[in-house]
A = this chain, B = another copy of it.
């Protein structure tokens, strides 16, 4: 992606985790508490779950529409998860950054890898992996959600283990053993990232201090 014209004070924050590690709840709380963030709404070919709204939770499209976006190079990243396709539209991300908003991504390791490869200003990307306290605990949480059949649960656990194996490719790693602590960790990461020297363009007034 060409970042020309983007606000370099802003950044793209990726949250990844296996399902059941609490990522969605973290993202929701972050968006509520910090209005410097816009959520990047993914395009997907999967069927809407109960209560999911088109254009808010996802942009729901069919296979053909998705393929067209890929062909037209409209996606910043795309990935297959549980036999469904997920992607991020370039234009929406660009627009947010241009308007001085940070962009929050709720994507998996495949999407994160593509984002890394496709972004020209590498320090504009901040990646955070949320780990469950243990596999046992993750299994328990997925069972409690009771969304899935036994077979799907097994598949989810398999996918979770695969996802977890990629934590080493992220900038930051947080263990979600306590939601509030985990959220405060995420908040600290964001606060620190905002204090990074290269994001503080507004401080250029201090160059007048130079002798």
Q: Which residues of A contact B (CB under 8 A)?
A: 129, 131, 135, 158, 161-162, 164-165, 167-168, 170-175, 184-185, 187-189, 191-193, 195-197, 200, 203, 206-207, 209-211
Contacts and interface: CB of A to CB of B under 8 A. Distances in A.
11 contacts: A161-B210, A161-B211, A165-B210, A167-B203, A171-B196, A172-B192, A172-B197, A173-B203, A185-B191, A187-B188, A192-B192
Nearest to A202: B175
A94 to B, nearest CB: 27
Contact of A211 (B158, B203, B206): B158
Interface residues of A, dominant DSSP: helix
A132 to B, nearest CB: 9
Contacts of A184: 191
A170 B158 contact: no
Contacts of A185: 191, 195
A195 B193 CA distance: 12
A196 B189 CA distance: 9
B197 A168 contact: yes
Nearest to A185: B195
Most buried by B among A164, A165, A184, A195: A195
